[in-house]
Chains A and B, each alone.
Chain A
Amino acid sequence: MNALLDVRGLNAWYGESHVLHGVDMQIREGETVTLLGRNGVGKTTTLRTIMGIIRQRKGTLRFNDQDMMPVPLHKTARHGLGFVPEERGIFASLSVIENLMLPPQIAKNGMTVDEIFELFPNLHERRNSPGTKLSGGEQQMLAIARILRTGVRMLLLDEPTEGLAPVIVQRIGDVLIRLKQRGITVLLVEQNFRFASRVADRFYLMDHGHIQSEFPVAQLGERMDELHKVLGV
Protein backbone atom coordinates (compact mmCIF):
# COMPACT_ATOMS: atom_id res chain seq x y z
CA MET A 1 0.00 0.00 0.00
CA ASN A 2 1.40 3.41 -0.99
CA ALA A 3 2.13 5.87 1.77
CA LEU A 4 -0.22 8.87 2.00
CA LEU A 5 2.76 10.97 3.08
CA ASP A 6 6.13 10.02 1.66
CA VAL A 7 9.14 12.00 2.87
CA ARG A 8 12.62 11.11 1.67
CA GLY A 9 15.90 12.90 2.34
CA LEU A 10 14.17 16.06 3.54
CA ASN A 11 16.58 18.87 4.37
CA ALA A 12 15.60 22.29 5.69
CA TRP A 13 17.38 25.49 6.60
CA TYR A 14 16.65 28.59 8.67
CA GLY A 15 18.81 31.08 6.78
CA GLU A 16 22.37 29.73 7.07
CA SER A 17 21.43 27.20 9.73
CA HIS A 18 20.96 23.63 8.42
CA VAL A 19 18.21 22.17 10.66
CA LEU A 20 16.91 18.99 8.99
CA HIS A 21 19.48 16.52 7.68
CA GLY A 22 17.70 14.04 5.44
CA VAL A 23 14.46 13.14 7.24
CA ASP A 24 12.77 9.95 5.94
CA MET A 25 9.24 8.94 6.91
CA GLN A 26 6.32 7.16 5.30
CA ILE A 27 2.82 7.38 6.77
CA ARG A 28 -0.09 5.31 5.49
CA GLU A 29 -3.69 6.52 5.31
CA GLY A 30 -5.49 6.22 8.66
CA GLU A 31 -2.32 5.85 10.73
CA THR A 32 -1.49 7.93 13.78
CA VAL A 33 2.26 8.36 13.96
CA THR A 34 4.16 10.18 16.67
CA LEU A 35 7.42 12.01 16.19
CA LEU A 36 9.35 11.85 19.46
CA GLY A 37 12.48 13.75 20.39
CA ARG A 38 14.00 16.25 22.77
CA ASN A 39 13.55 20.01 22.42
CA GLY A 40 15.45 21.44 19.46
CA VAL A 41 16.02 18.23 17.46
CA GLY A 42 13.84 19.46 14.57
CA LYS A 43 10.36 17.99 15.25
CA THR A 44 8.45 21.26 14.78
CA THR A 45 10.69 22.13 11.82
CA THR A 46 9.76 18.78 10.24
CA LEU A 47 6.04 19.60 10.48
CA ARG A 48 6.53 23.17 9.24
CA THR A 49 8.66 21.94 6.33
CA ILE A 50 6.11 19.28 5.33
CA MET A 51 3.37 21.92 5.50
CA GLY A 52 5.41 24.25 3.29
CA ILE A 53 5.82 27.04 5.85
CA ILE A 54 9.60 26.62 5.67
CA ARG A 55 10.45 27.08 2.00
CA GLN A 56 14.23 26.63 2.23
CA ARG A 57 14.04 22.87 1.77
CA LYS A 58 15.31 20.04 -0.41
CA GLY A 59 14.42 16.38 -0.82
CA THR A 60 11.32 14.44 -1.80
CA LEU A 61 7.94 15.28 -0.33
CA ARG A 62 4.90 13.53 -1.77
CA PHE A 63 1.36 13.64 -0.42
CA ASN A 64 -1.30 11.43 -1.96
CA ASP A 65 1.19 10.67 -4.78
CA GLN A 66 1.63 14.35 -5.61
CA ASP A 67 4.92 16.23 -5.45
CA MET A 68 4.39 18.93 -2.80
CA MET A 69 7.74 20.70 -3.20
CA PRO A 70 6.56 23.25 -5.80
CA VAL A 71 3.14 23.78 -4.15
CA PRO A 72 2.84 27.27 -2.59
CA LEU A 73 1.85 27.46 1.08
CA HIS A 74 -1.69 28.72 0.43
CA LYS A 75 -2.37 25.72 -1.85
CA THR A 76 -1.00 23.03 0.48
CA ALA A 77 -4.20 22.86 2.55
CA ARG A 78 -6.27 22.20 -0.60
CA HIS A 79 -4.36 18.93 -1.07
CA GLY A 80 -5.74 17.76 2.28
CA LEU A 81 -2.98 18.66 4.75
CA GLY A 82 -3.95 20.52 7.92
CA PHE A 83 -1.60 22.04 10.49
CA VAL A 84 -2.18 22.86 14.16
CA PRO A 85 0.82 24.82 15.50
CA GLU A 86 2.28 24.41 18.97
CA GLU A 87 1.24 27.95 19.95
CA ARG A 88 -2.30 27.05 18.71
CA GLY A 89 -2.66 30.20 16.59
CA ILE A 90 -5.99 31.36 18.03
CA PHE A 91 -6.74 34.83 16.67
CA ALA A 92 -7.39 37.44 19.37
CA SER A 93 -9.46 39.71 17.13
CA LEU A 94 -11.82 36.85 16.17
CA SER A 95 -14.54 35.24 18.28
CA VAL A 96 -14.58 31.48 18.93
CA ILE A 97 -17.09 30.90 16.12
CA GLU A 98 -15.11 33.15 13.73
CA ASN A 99 -11.93 31.24 14.57
CA LEU A 100 -13.79 27.99 13.96
CA MET A 101 -15.18 29.09 10.59
CA LEU A 102 -11.97 30.76 9.37
CA PRO A 103 -10.16 28.01 7.42
CA PRO A 104 -11.84 27.43 4.04
CA GLN A 105 -13.45 24.00 3.61
CA ILE A 106 -11.45 21.77 1.28
CA ALA A 107 -13.64 18.64 1.27
CA LYS A 108 -17.24 17.80 2.15
CA ASN A 109 -16.33 15.08 4.64
CA GLY A 110 -15.23 17.52 7.34
CA MET A 111 -16.97 17.70 10.72
CA THR A 112 -20.07 19.86 10.81
CA VAL A 113 -20.28 22.68 13.33
CA ASP A 114 -22.93 20.66 15.23
CA GLU A 115 -20.60 17.66 15.44
CA ILE A 116 -17.78 19.90 16.65
CA PHE A 117 -19.97 21.47 19.33
CA GLU A 118 -21.11 17.99 20.41
CA LEU A 119 -17.47 16.91 20.72
CA PHE A 120 -16.41 20.17 22.41
CA PRO A 121 -19.43 21.52 24.37
CA ASN A 122 -17.26 24.25 25.97
CA LEU A 123 -16.73 25.83 22.57
CA HIS A 124 -20.48 26.03 22.02
CA GLU A 125 -21.01 27.75 25.36
CA ARG A 126 -18.32 30.30 24.58
CA ARG A 127 -18.83 30.65 20.82
CA ASN A 128 -19.15 34.46 20.93
CA SER A 129 -16.21 35.09 23.28
CA PRO A 130 -12.90 36.33 21.89
CA GLY A 131 -10.76 33.30 21.01
CA THR A 132 -7.94 34.20 23.36
CA LYS A 133 -10.27 34.43 26.39
CA LEU A 134 -10.51 30.63 26.37
CA SER A 135 -8.40 28.49 28.70
CA GLY A 136 -5.31 26.78 27.27
CA GLY A 137 -7.18 23.47 26.92
CA GLU A 138 -10.17 25.11 25.22
CA GLN A 139 -7.83 26.94 22.84
CA GLN A 140 -6.22 23.64 21.91
CA MET A 141 -9.66 22.08 21.30
CA LEU A 142 -10.58 25.08 19.11
CA ALA A 143 -7.29 24.83 17.18
CA ILE A 144 -7.95 21.15 16.41
CA ALA A 145 -11.69 21.62 15.78
CA ARG A 146 -11.27 24.36 13.16
CA ILE A 147 -9.00 22.13 11.08
CA LEU A 148 -11.36 19.14 11.38
CA ARG A 149 -14.20 21.25 9.94
CA THR A 150 -12.24 21.70 6.71
CA GLY A 151 -12.22 17.99 5.84
CA VAL A 152 -8.45 17.39 5.88
CA ARG A 153 -7.08 13.91 5.13
CA MET A 154 -4.04 14.36 7.31
CA LEU A 155 -3.45 16.44 10.42
CA LEU A 156 -0.01 17.71 11.45
CA LEU A 157 -0.34 18.29 15.18
CA ASP A 158 2.44 20.01 17.11
CA GLU A 159 2.66 19.24 20.86
CA PRO A 160 -1.07 19.48 21.63
CA THR A 161 -0.61 18.61 25.33
CA GLU A 162 2.06 21.21 26.05
CA GLY A 163 1.32 22.97 29.35
CA LEU A 164 -2.13 21.42 29.83
CA ALA A 165 -3.67 19.83 32.94
CA PRO A 166 -3.84 15.99 33.00
CA VAL A 167 -7.63 15.97 32.65
CA ILE A 168 -7.40 18.08 29.47
CA VAL A 169 -4.59 15.86 28.14
CA GLN A 170 -6.94 12.90 28.66
CA ARG A 171 -9.66 14.67 26.63
CA ILE A 172 -7.28 15.50 23.79
CA GLY A 173 -6.32 11.82 23.75
CA ASP A 174 -10.03 10.93 23.44
CA VAL A 175 -10.37 13.35 20.52
CA LEU A 176 -7.37 11.83 18.72
CA ILE A 177 -8.89 8.37 19.13
CA ARG A 178 -12.14 9.70 17.59
CA LEU A 179 -10.14 11.09 14.65
CA LYS A 180 -8.51 7.72 14.15
CA GLN A 181 -11.95 6.11 14.07
CA ARG A 182 -12.97 8.60 11.37
CA GLY A 183 -9.93 7.52 9.32
CA ILE A 184 -8.01 10.77 9.61
CA THR A 185 -4.25 10.34 9.36
CA VAL A 186 -2.29 12.13 12.09
CA LEU A 187 1.38 13.05 12.41
CA LEU A 188 1.79 14.06 16.03
CA VAL A 189 4.82 15.78 17.53
CA GLU A 190 4.97 14.97 21.21
CA GLN A 191 7.46 14.79 24.06
CA ASN A 192 5.04 13.00 26.36
CA PHE A 193 5.44 9.44 25.07
CA ARG A 194 3.05 8.03 27.67
CA PHE A 195 0.30 10.19 26.15
CA ALA A 196 1.46 9.32 22.64
CA SER A 197 1.46 5.59 23.33
CA ARG A 198 -2.30 5.79 23.96
CA VAL A 199 -3.07 7.12 20.49
CA ALA A 200 -0.16 6.23 18.18
CA ASP A 201 0.32 3.20 15.92
CA ARG A 202 4.00 3.89 15.33
CA PHE A 203 6.80 6.12 16.54
CA TYR A 204 9.63 7.91 14.81
CA LEU A 205 12.44 8.87 17.15
CA MET A 206 14.24 12.00 16.04
CA ASP A 207 17.68 13.30 16.99
CA HIS A 208 19.91 16.02 15.53
CA GLY A 209 17.66 16.74 12.55
CA HIS A 210 17.18 13.19 11.30
CA ILE A 211 15.14 10.09 12.11
CA GLN A 212 17.13 7.85 14.43
CA SER A 213 14.73 4.92 14.59
CA GLU A 214 11.19 3.80 13.89
CA PHE A 215 9.11 1.25 15.81
CA PRO A 216 5.49 0.22 16.36
CA VAL A 217 3.68 0.95 19.61
CA ALA A 218 3.96 -2.74 20.61
CA GLN A 219 7.74 -2.33 20.91
CA LEU A 220 7.56 0.64 23.23
CA GLY A 221 8.40 -1.47 26.29
CA GLU A 222 11.55 -2.91 24.69
CA ARG A 223 12.70 0.53 23.55
CA MET A 224 12.60 2.22 26.93
CA ASP A 225 16.39 2.34 27.29
CA GLU A 226 16.76 4.01 23.90
CA LEU A 227 13.94 6.42 24.71
CA HIS A 228 15.50 7.32 28.06
CA LYS A 229 18.80 7.95 26.33
CA VAL A 230 17.44 10.04 23.44
CA LEU A 231 14.69 11.86 25.29
CA GLY A 232 16.69 12.28 28.50
CA VAL A 233 13.76 11.10 30.64
Chain B
Amino acid sequence: MNTVFGVPLPALLGQLLIGLINGSFYALLSLGLAIIFGLLRMINFAHGAQYMLGAFTAYLLLHFAGIGYWPALILTPIIVGVFGAVIERLFLQRLYGLDPLYGLLFTFGLALMLEGIFRYYYGASGQPYATPPSLAGGTNLGFMFLPNYRGWVVVASLLVCIGTWLLIEKTKLGAYLRAATENSTLVQAFGVNVPILLTLTYGLGVALAAFAGVLAAPIYQVSPLMGSNIIIVVFAVVVVGGMGSILGAIVTGYVLGITEGLTKVFYPEASNTVIFVIMAIVLLVRPAGLFGRE
Protein backbone atom coordinates (compact mmCIF):
# COMPACT_ATOMS: atom_id res chain seq x y z
CA MET B 1 0.00 0.00 0.00
CA ASN B 2 1.26 3.51 -0.83
CA THR B 3 2.29 5.53 2.22
CA VAL B 4 3.32 9.15 2.86
CA PHE B 5 5.68 9.58 5.87
CA GLY B 6 4.50 6.14 6.99
CA VAL B 7 0.80 7.03 6.76
CA PRO B 8 -1.37 5.01 4.32
CA LEU B 9 -2.43 7.20 1.40
CA PRO B 10 -6.21 6.52 1.75
CA ALA B 11 -6.10 7.52 5.45
CA LEU B 12 -4.17 10.69 4.56
CA LEU B 13 -6.56 11.63 1.75
CA GLY B 14 -9.56 10.83 3.96
CA GLN B 15 -8.36 13.25 6.62
CA LEU B 16 -7.47 15.78 3.93
CA LEU B 17 -11.08 15.59 2.71
CA ILE B 18 -12.45 16.01 6.25
CA GLY B 19 -10.10 18.97 6.65
CA LEU B 20 -11.30 20.45 3.37
CA ILE B 21 -14.95 20.05 4.43
CA ASN B 22 -14.30 21.63 7.84
CA GLY B 23 -12.34 24.32 6.00
CA SER B 24 -15.36 24.96 3.77
CA PHE B 25 -17.48 25.73 6.83
CA TYR B 26 -14.69 27.78 8.43
CA ALA B 27 -14.32 29.79 5.21
CA LEU B 28 -18.08 30.45 4.81
CA LEU B 29 -18.53 31.40 8.44
CA SER B 30 -15.38 33.51 8.78
CA LEU B 31 -16.25 35.26 5.50
CA GLY B 32 -19.59 36.37 6.99
CA LEU B 33 -17.90 37.47 10.21
CA ALA B 34 -15.22 39.39 8.27
CA ILE B 35 -17.80 41.21 6.13
CA ILE B 36 -19.81 42.21 9.21
CA PHE B 37 -16.74 43.27 11.18
CA GLY B 38 -15.29 45.15 8.21
CA LEU B 39 -18.24 47.50 7.81
CA LEU B 40 -20.09 47.46 11.11
CA ARG B 41 -16.96 47.18 13.32
CA MET B 42 -19.01 44.71 15.32
CA ILE B 43 -17.93 41.28 16.52
CA ASN B 44 -21.00 39.21 15.71
CA PHE B 45 -21.01 36.67 18.50
CA ALA B 46 -24.41 35.42 17.28
CA HIS B 47 -22.80 34.09 14.07
CA GLY B 48 -22.68 30.50 15.36
CA ALA B 49 -26.31 30.72 16.47
CA GLN B 50 -27.27 32.09 13.04
CA TYR B 51 -25.48 29.10 11.44
CA MET B 52 -27.54 26.85 13.74
CA LEU B 53 -30.66 28.84 12.82
CA GLY B 54 -29.94 28.10 9.14
CA ALA B 55 -29.77 24.36 9.82
CA PHE B 56 -32.94 24.46 11.93
CA THR B 57 -34.81 26.55 9.35
CA ALA B 58 -34.05 23.89 6.70
CA TYR B 59 -35.14 21.20 9.18
CA LEU B 60 -38.40 23.05 10.00
CA LEU B 61 -39.12 23.77 6.32
CA LEU B 62 -38.83 20.05 5.64
CA HIS B 63 -40.92 18.87 8.59
CA PHE B 64 -43.65 21.51 8.62
CA ALA B 65 -43.90 22.57 4.97
CA GLY B 66 -42.45 19.58 3.15
CA ILE B 67 -39.83 21.81 1.50
CA GLY B 68 -36.78 19.72 0.64
CA TYR B 69 -33.05 20.38 0.63
CA TRP B 70 -32.63 22.18 -2.70
CA PRO B 71 -35.37 24.82 -2.25
CA ALA B 72 -34.26 25.17 1.40
CA LEU B 73 -30.72 25.94 0.26
CA ILE B 74 -32.10 29.05 -1.47
CA LEU B 75 -34.96 29.93 0.91
CA THR B 76 -33.11 29.53 4.21
CA PRO B 77 -30.39 32.15 3.61
CA ILE B 78 -33.12 34.58 2.50
CA ILE B 79 -35.32 33.92 5.57
CA VAL B 80 -32.44 34.02 8.07
CA GLY B 81 -30.80 36.96 6.24
CA VAL B 82 -34.05 38.96 6.56
CA PHE B 83 -34.17 38.00 10.25
CA GLY B 84 -30.61 39.36 10.56
CA ALA B 85 -31.57 42.58 8.75
CA VAL B 86 -34.49 43.08 11.15
CA ILE B 87 -32.17 42.54 14.15
CA GLU B 88 -29.77 45.13 12.68
CA ARG B 89 -32.56 47.68 12.11
CA LEU B 90 -34.20 47.18 15.50
CA PHE B 91 -31.18 46.77 17.77
CA LEU B 92 -27.69 46.96 16.27
CA GLN B 93 -28.24 50.43 14.73
CA ARG B 94 -28.60 51.79 18.26
CA LEU B 95 -25.14 50.49 19.17
CA TYR B 96 -23.08 52.13 16.38
CA GLY B 97 -20.68 54.71 17.72
CA LEU B 98 -20.58 53.04 21.12
CA ASP B 99 -17.75 50.89 22.47
CA PRO B 100 -17.60 47.65 20.33
CA LEU B 101 -18.05 45.74 23.60
CA TYR B 102 -21.76 46.65 23.54
CA GLY B 103 -22.22 44.98 20.16
CA LEU B 104 -20.32 41.91 21.33
CA LEU B 105 -22.43 41.66 24.49
CA PHE B 106 -25.68 42.16 22.57
CA THR B 107 -24.87 39.50 19.97
CA PHE B 108 -23.63 37.16 22.73
CA GLY B 109 -27.00 37.57 24.45
CA LEU B 110 -28.80 37.00 21.15
CA ALA B 111 -26.81 33.77 20.62
CA LEU B 112 -27.76 32.54 24.11
CA MET B 113 -31.43 33.36 23.46
CA LEU B 114 -31.53 31.57 20.10
CA GLU B 115 -29.75 28.52 21.49
CA GLY B 116 -32.03 28.53 24.54
CA ILE B 117 -35.19 28.60 22.43
CA PHE B 118 -34.11 25.62 20.30
CA ARG B 119 -32.81 23.69 23.31
CA TYR B 120 -36.19 24.19 25.00
CA TYR B 121 -38.08 22.69 22.07
CA TYR B 122 -35.58 20.15 20.71
CA GLY B 123 -33.20 19.33 23.58
CA ALA B 124 -29.42 19.21 23.19
CA SER B 125 -29.29 16.16 20.94
CA GLY B 126 -29.15 16.43 17.15
CA GLN B 127 -32.07 15.98 14.77
CA PRO B 128 -31.35 13.92 11.64
CA TYR B 129 -31.56 15.66 8.26
CA ALA B 130 -31.32 13.31 5.31
CA THR B 131 -28.83 13.80 2.51
CA PRO B 132 -30.71 14.78 -0.67
CA PRO B 133 -31.27 11.63 -2.79
CA SER B 134 -29.53 13.20 -5.80
CA LEU B 135 -26.30 13.39 -3.75
CA ALA B 136 -26.57 10.06 -1.95
CA GLY B 137 -23.76 7.52 -2.32
CA GLY B 138 -20.23 8.21 -3.37
CA THR B 139 -17.72 8.18 -6.19
CA ASN B 140 -14.64 5.99 -6.35
CA LEU B 141 -11.80 8.30 -7.40
CA GLY B 142 -9.35 5.40 -7.63
CA PHE B 143 -7.17 6.60 -4.79
CA MET B 144 -10.12 7.22 -2.42
CA PHE B 145 -13.88 6.97 -2.04
CA LEU B 146 -15.54 10.42 -2.10
CA PRO B 147 -19.05 10.75 -0.63
CA ASN B 148 -20.97 12.82 -3.19
CA TYR B 149 -22.56 15.12 -0.62
CA ARG B 150 -19.18 16.03 0.88
CA GLY B 151 -17.81 16.78 -2.56
CA TRP B 152 -20.84 19.04 -3.13
CA VAL B 153 -20.20 20.88 0.17
CA VAL B 154 -16.66 21.75 -0.94
CA VAL B 155 -17.82 22.89 -4.40
CA ALA B 156 -20.79 24.91 -3.08
CA SER B 157 -18.68 26.60 -0.42
CA LEU B 158 -15.99 27.49 -2.98
CA LEU B 159 -18.59 28.89 -5.40
CA VAL B 160 -20.25 31.02 -2.72
CA CYS B 161 -16.90 32.27 -1.37
CA ILE B 162 -15.68 33.20 -4.88
CA GLY B 163 -19.06 34.79 -5.69
CA THR B 164 -18.99 36.87 -2.50
CA TRP B 165 -15.40 37.88 -3.14
CA LEU B 166 -16.29 38.97 -6.70
CA LEU B 167 -19.31 40.89 -5.36
CA ILE B 168 -17.08 42.81 -2.99
CA GLU B 169 -14.05 43.31 -5.25
CA LYS B 170 -15.61 43.78 -8.68
CA THR B 171 -18.98 45.48 -8.30
CA LYS B 172 -20.11 49.01 -7.50
CA LEU B 173 -21.92 47.74 -4.40
CA GLY B 174 -18.66 46.12 -3.30
CA ALA B 175 -16.79 49.40 -3.90
CA TYR B 176 -19.34 51.17 -1.66
CA LEU B 177 -18.81 48.49 0.98
CA ARG B 178 -15.02 48.74 0.85
CA ALA B 179 -15.08 52.54 0.89
CA ALA B 180 -17.62 52.66 3.73
CA THR B 181 -15.36 50.30 5.71
CA GLU B 182 -12.67 53.00 5.55
CA ASN B 183 -14.74 56.18 5.94
CA SER B 184 -18.50 55.71 6.13
CA THR B 185 -19.20 59.42 6.79
CA LEU B 186 -17.57 60.48 3.53
CA VAL B 187 -19.34 57.75 1.55
CA GLN B 188 -22.60 59.02 3.04
CA ALA B 189 -21.66 62.59 2.08
CA PHE B 190 -21.26 61.31 -1.50
CA GLY B 191 -24.95 60.39 -1.45
CA VAL B 192 -24.75 56.69 -0.63
CA ASN B 193 -27.36 55.44 1.83
CA VAL B 194 -24.91 53.91 4.31
CA PRO B 195 -27.55 52.92 6.91
CA ILE B 196 -29.20 50.68 4.28
CA LEU B 197 -25.75 49.39 3.28
CA LEU B 198 -25.12 48.41 6.92
CA THR B 199 -28.44 46.55 7.07
CA LEU B 200 -27.73 44.73 3.80
CA THR B 201 -24.21 43.84 4.95
CA TYR B 202 -25.41 42.36 8.21
CA GLY B 203 -28.16 40.50 6.34
CA LEU B 204 -25.58 39.15 3.84
CA GLY B 205 -23.22 38.01 6.60
CA VAL B 206 -26.06 36.25 8.41
CA ALA B 207 -27.31 34.71 5.14
CA LEU B 208 -23.82 33.22 4.58
CA ALA B 209 -23.95 31.67 8.06
CA ALA B 210 -27.42 30.26 7.31
CA PHE B 211 -26.21 28.86 3.97
CA ALA B 212 -23.38 27.09 5.82
CA GLY B 213 -25.97 25.80 8.31
CA VAL B 214 -28.07 24.19 5.54
CA LEU B 215 -24.93 22.63 4.00
CA ALA B 216 -23.96 21.27 7.42
CA ALA B 217 -27.38 19.79 8.29
CA PRO B 218 -26.95 16.42 6.50
CA ILE B 219 -23.33 16.04 7.72
CA TYR B 220 -23.39 17.06 11.39
CA GLN B 221 -27.12 16.69 12.22
CA VAL B 222 -29.20 19.66 13.35
CA SER B 223 -28.42 20.55 16.94
CA PRO B 224 -28.94 23.71 19.04
CA LEU B 225 -25.27 23.48 20.08
CA MET B 226 -23.80 23.12 16.57
CA GLY B 227 -23.09 26.87 16.39
CA SER B 228 -21.30 27.20 19.72
CA ASN B 229 -19.20 24.12 18.84
CA ILE B 230 -17.74 25.78 15.76
CA ILE B 231 -17.80 29.53 16.46
CA ILE B 232 -14.69 29.72 18.65
CA VAL B 233 -12.61 28.03 15.92
CA VAL B 234 -14.12 30.44 13.37
CA PHE B 235 -13.11 33.44 15.48
CA ALA B 236 -9.56 32.02 15.55
CA VAL B 237 -9.69 31.73 11.73
CA VAL B 238 -10.78 35.39 11.42
CA VAL B 239 -7.97 36.53 13.73
CA VAL B 240 -5.37 34.54 11.74
CA GLY B 241 -6.68 35.87 8.42
CA GLY B 242 -6.95 39.46 9.67
CA MET B 243 -10.10 41.00 11.13
CA GLY B 244 -12.22 42.36 8.30
CA SER B 245 -10.09 40.86 5.49
CA ILE B 246 -12.38 39.11 2.99
CA LEU B 247 -9.64 37.25 1.11
CA GLY B 248 -7.93 36.46 4.43
CA ALA B 249 -11.10 34.86 5.81
CA ILE B 250 -11.58 32.64 2.74
CA VAL B 251 -7.97 31.49 2.29
CA THR B 252 -7.32 31.04 6.01
CA GLY B 253 -10.59 29.11 6.43
CA TYR B 254 -9.57 26.45 3.90
CA VAL B 255 -5.88 26.36 4.89
CA LEU B 256 -6.62 25.96 8.61
CA GLY B 257 -9.28 23.32 7.92
CA ILE B 258 -6.74 21.30 5.92
CA THR B 259 -4.04 21.91 8.55
CA GLU B 260 -6.40 20.58 11.22
CA GLY B 261 -7.14 17.51 9.08
CA LEU B 262 -3.44 16.79 8.48
CA THR B 263 -2.67 17.23 12.18
CA LYS B 264 -5.21 14.47 12.89
CA VAL B 265 -3.06 12.15 10.76
CA PHE B 266 0.41 13.07 11.94
CA TYR B 267 -0.13 14.18 15.56
CA PRO B 268 -3.77 13.53 16.57
CA GLU B 269 -3.27 14.83 20.14
CA ALA B 270 -2.76 18.36 18.76
CA SER B 271 -5.64 18.35 16.27
CA ASN B 272 -8.05 20.22 18.58
CA THR B 273 -5.52 22.89 19.49
CA VAL B 274 -3.46 23.40 16.33
CA ILE B 275 -5.62 26.30 15.07
CA PHE B 276 -5.29 28.11 18.40
CA VAL B 277 -1.51 27.56 18.47
CA ILE B 278 -1.30 29.06 14.96
CA MET B 279 -3.49 31.96 16.13
CA ALA B 280 -1.16 32.63 19.07
CA ILE B 281 1.91 32.59 16.80
CA VAL B 282 0.25 34.91 14.25
CA LEU B 283 -0.80 37.31 17.02
CA LEU B 284 2.80 37.43 18.25
CA VAL B 285 4.41 37.84 14.81
CA ARG B 286 1.76 39.78 12.90
CA PRO B 287 -1.01 41.07 15.17
CA ALA B 288 -3.09 42.41 12.25
CA GLY B 289 -3.37 38.86 10.84
CA LEU B 290 -1.84 37.31 7.72
CA PHE B 291 -3.98 39.34 5.30
CA GLY B 292 -4.85 42.30 7.53
CA ARG B 293 -3.50 45.83 7.15
CA GLU B 294 -1.00 46.88 9.83
Measured between beta carbons, the chain A residues less than 8 angstroms from B272 are: none
Enumerate A81-134 residues with CB–CB distance to B below 8 Å.
83, 85, 89, 91-94, 98, 101-104, 106
State whether A91 touches B189 (Cβ < 8 A).
no
The answer for the CA separation of A103 and B191 in the assembled complex, in Å, is: 7
State whether B191 touches A78 (Cβ < 8 A).
yes
State whether A91 touches B191 (Cβ < 8 A).
no
B276 at the interface (CB under 8 A from A): no
State whether B179 touches A91 (Cβ < 8 A).
yes
Mostly, the B contact residues are helix
User: Whose C-beta in chain B lies nearest to the C-beta of A104?
Assistant: B191
B117 at the interface (CB under 8 A from A): no
Assuming the contacts A94-B175, A98-B175, asked whether A106 and B182 have C-beta atoms less than 8 A apart, the reply is no
Measured between beta carbons, the chain B residues less than 8 angstroms from A77 are: 189-191
State whether A51 touches B182 (Cβ < 8 A).
no
B187–chain A nearest beta-carbon distance, Å: 8
User: Whose C-beta in chain A lies nearest to the C-beta of B169?
Assistant: A93
State whether A85 touches B186 (Cβ < 8 A).
yes
Measured between beta carbons, the chain A residues less than 8 angstroms from B183 are: 89, 91
The answer for the CA separation of A93 and B195 in the assembled complex, in Å, is: 21
A224 at the interface (CB under 8 A from B): no
Enumerate B184-200 residues with CB–CB distance to A below 8 Å.
185-195
User: Whose C-beta in chain A lies nearest to the C-beta of B191?
Assistant: A77
Choose one: A73, A92, A150; the contact of B185 (CB below 8 Å).
A73
B178 at the interface (CB under 8 A from A): yes
Enumerate A36-87 residues with CB–CB distance to B below 8 Å.
51-53, 73-78, 83, 85
Measured between beta carbons, the chain A residues less than 8 angstroms from B194 are: 74
State whether A102 touches B188 (Cβ < 8 A).
no
State whether A74 touches B178 (Cβ < 8 A).
no
Interface size class of A (residues with CB under 8 A): 20 to 34
Measured between beta carbons, the chain A residues less than 8 angstroms from B178 are: 91, 93-94
A221–chain B nearest beta-carbon distance, Å: 37
B246–chain A nearest beta-carbon distance, Å: 10
The answer for the CA separation of A101 and B190 in the assembled complex, in Å, is: 11
User: Whose C-beta in chain A lies nearest to the C-beta of B181?
Assistant: A93
State whether B175 touches A74 (Cβ < 8 A).
no
Choose one: B172, B192, B293; the contact of A74 (CB below 8 Å).
B192
Mask, A153-167, CB within 8 Å of B = 1, is 000000000000000
Measured between beta carbons, the chain A residues less than 8 angstroms from B187 are: 102
State whether A73 touches B175 (Cβ < 8 A).
no
B118 at the interface (CB under 8 A from A): no
B183–chain A nearest beta-carbon distance, Å: 6
Measured between beta carbons, the chain B residues less than 8 angstroms from A104 are: 190-192
The answer for the CA separation of A53 and B182 in the assembled complex, in Å, is: 16
Assuming the contacts A91-B182, A91-B183, A92-B182, asked whether A76 and B176 have C-beta atoms less than 8 A apart, the reply is no
Measured between beta carbons, the chain B residues less than 8 angstroms from A75 are: 191
Extra contacts, 11 of them, besides A102-B176, A102-B190 (Cβ < 8 A), are A73-B189, A74-B189, A77-B191, A83-B186, A91-B179, A92-B182, A94-B175, A101-B172, A103-B190, A106-B191, A150-B191
Q: Which 4 residue pairs of A and B lie closest in terms of their CB atoms, listed nearest first?
A: A77-B191, A103-B190, A89-B186, A93-B178
